Structure 1
Amino acid sequence: MSTCDETFVRSGRLRLWTERFGDPAAPAVLLIMGTSTQGIAWPDDLLDALADSGRQVIRFDNRDTGRSDCVDFTAEPYALADLAADATAVLDGHGIAAAHIVGISLGATIGQWLAVHRASRVLTLTAMSASPMGNQPGPAWARAFAGQPALDGELPPPTASFVRHVLSSAGAPGADTDVQTWRVLNGDVLPFDEPAARTFVARSHARAGNLAAALNHDLAGRRFDDDRRAPLSTITAPALVVHGSADPLFPPAHGEALAAQIPGARLEVLPGMGHHPFFAPGLTGRIADLIIHHTA
């Protein structure tokens, strides 16, 4: 494991947990995790590979996850812009003017927001397992959960296996349910490393200040303010879109649409990859190689 620096930074009144690996003088890669998931979901092997390639790498807990502060969403609702402000606060806290932004799922949506609205902070963008930030999936999801077909022209809803899992696991929180969620997100093609998932879930439960607060990310993700509707065609940072051919949450058409909307974006569809790739043996190395090449 590379030498790391664990510290807290401030985003307004919130305190955010961060961890930096590699040479602080090297170009920075900021890793932004997805909905309700702690920053430690970025695997150590990925951080080591990026640090060994001559980059400093920072992962952090988004607000309402892990060791970062939690928010009373009813009293203080927040939106994507606030999560993006947290990401820039992490850069500020480490004295970094601009970074290579790598996000997955909601983290990739935050990355899109930064590339549009805070372009000077973004050297390159790598968006993994994501949909265009202006796409509002709620209606398609509602039809899918009601057993109704998708409408012509809309991006596809989650797969039937994902819908079945959500419906069957409702009201059954706990570590076993979390592990099964990761299994479903892994997709049905590549092997699933259940021991690694169980270790991650146990560690996440142990270090969370308030597990229930992570659900606030879903509420924030449903807010579609005008800033989310800004065209991705204004992005000037070199962009890489990485998507799995077996993504059960955002089927491949989402990644294709995202790449099509960003000028010059390169799309890499990884065969068999699901929504979250890091419990599928072998994918971490492949993704590290893509990021290293893109941020060179």
Structure 2
Amino acid sequence: MTTEKLFPVNGVELCAETFGDPGDPAVLLIHGGTASMLWWDAAFCAKLAGYGRYVIRYDQRDTGRSTTYPVGEPPYAMSDLATDAVGLLDALGVERAHVVAQSMSGGIGLIIGVDHAPRVASLTFVSTSPGGDDLPPPAGGLPHISTPDWGDPTAVEEYVVRSIEAESAGVFDEEAARALVRADMARAANYEAVMTNHYSMNFDEPKGGSFGELTMPVLVVHGDQDPYFPPAHAEALQDAVPDGRLVLIKGAGHGIPEPLWDEFLAALAEHTESS
């Protein structure tokens, strides 16, 4: 039985699910571009809740069961997605949360941390980058994966599974990846919109500054085999924030797979001890 619930937030509907005791320190999980809440595995959320955390995962706009828009026509900016996250905390009665932002959503975490700082107990950036022309490009040898016919569910499934494999750096469970993609496709109103609209939005920036203006504790978690953002991106992000802490997870690619959760969870639990 699902415990998902739809919340009216910021003029849209967001689907969210919680784990643990609402009285514990809250951890808001924001996955990367195109990824619904399912990409934060329920078992991962339950393990984090077992550390005494109130864990929140949710579908951003154009993913899962949340509000979706026509393909290629997202009427929102990254700052709207940040406002959505803060509005979801309001809807759940959470005054402050530890925000965990992955990949593309590192930009959302940054906007929340700078422009909505009183709502953030700490920030964790996972598999993301501060950007910069001096940082290394994606690793050579990444496979070219052709965009599928969006009307062919089998081709779409294969495209996303192979994309997961490409970013996994060898720690890849095809059965689990395929199950995730099938569940994700089943929940989405329009999977082509899921896979394209986040890349079409307006990528605006915080109004109050950038990484140097973050005032809360910051943890950077990164795979040492990330093919999209090599470790120099994580090191640059650590340097860009005041007193940032870096945890480089050996063997992880773009994201932290289940066999490597323990180190990630231990670091996250330590980082989110206070409310």
Q: 2:261 aligns with which of 272, 275, 284?
A: 284
- The Cα of 1:234 is off from its aligned counterpart by 0.9
Letter in 1 for 2:206: D
Letter in 1 for 2:199: D
What is the DSSP-based 3-state SS (H/G/I as helix, E as strand, rest coil) of the residue aligned with 1:160? coil
- The Cα of 1:290 is off from its aligned counterpart by 1.1
- The Cα of 1:11 is off from its aligned counterpart by 2.1
TM-score (norm 2): 0.91
Structure 1: gaps spanning 5 or more residues: 137-152
Is residue 199 of structure 2 the alignment partner of residue 218 of structure 1? Answer: yes
Contact in 2 for aligned 1:9/1:89 (Cα 8 Å):
no
Q: Identity over aligned residues, as a percent?
A: 39
Is residue 156 of structure 2 the alignment partner of residue 174 of structure 1? Answer: yes
Q: 1:293 aligns with which of 260, 270, 275?
A: 270
Q: 2: CA distance between counterparts of 1:130 and 1:272?
A: 16
- Over 3 Å counting, the alpha-carbon distance change for 1:224 and 1:60 in structure 2 is closer
- The Cα of 1:4 is off from its aligned counterpart by 7.6
Q: 2: CA distance between counterparts of 1:73 and 1:193?
A: 30
Letter in 1 for 2:5: T
Letter in 1 for 2:65: R
Contact in 2 for aligned 1:4/1:20 (Cα 8 Å):
no
Counterpart of 1:209 in structure 2 is 189
Is residue 137 of structure 2 the alignment partner of residue 160 of structure 1? Answer: no
Q: 1: CA distance between counterparts of 2:255 and 2:183?
A: 18
Contact in 2 for aligned 1:129/1:276 (Cα 8 Å):
yes
Q: 1: CA distance between counterparts of 2:15 and 2:147?
A: 30
Counterpart of 1:60 in structure 2 is 58
Counterpart of 2:249 in structure 1 is 270
Contact in 1 for aligned 2:111/2:205 (Cα 8 Å):
no
Structure 2: gaps spanning 5 or more residues: 150-154
- Over 3 Å counting, the alpha-carbon distance change for 1:119 and 1:282 in structure 2 is same
Q: 1: CA distance between counterparts of 2:212 and 2:74?
A: 32
What is the DSSP-based 3-state SS (H/G/I as helix, E as strand, rest coil) of the residue aligned with 2:177? helix
- Over 3 Å counting, the alpha-carbon distance change for 1:97 and 1:231 in structure 2 is same
Counterpart of 1:240 in structure 2 is 219
Letter in 1 for 2:59: D
Letter in 2 for 1:273: A
Q: 1: CA distance between counterparts of 2:54 and 2:101?
A: 16
Length, aligned pairs only: 267
Q: 1:115 aligns with which of 113, 116, 121?
A: 113
Q: 1:42 aligns with which of 40, 43, 54?
A: 40
Listed one character per residue, the Cα deviations across residues 18-50 of structure 1 (whole Å, up to 9, x for unaligned) are 001111111100000101011111112221121
Is residue 260 of structure 2 the alignment partner of residue 260 of structure 1? Answer: no
What is the DSSP-based 3-state SS (H/G/I as helix, E as strand, rest coil) of the residue aligned with 1:157? coil
Q: 2: CA distance between counterparts of 1:224 and 1:213?
A: 17
- Over 3 Å counting, the alpha-carbon distance change for 1:39 and 1:75 in structure 2 is closer
Q: 1: CA distance between counterparts of 2:48 and 2:92?
A: 18
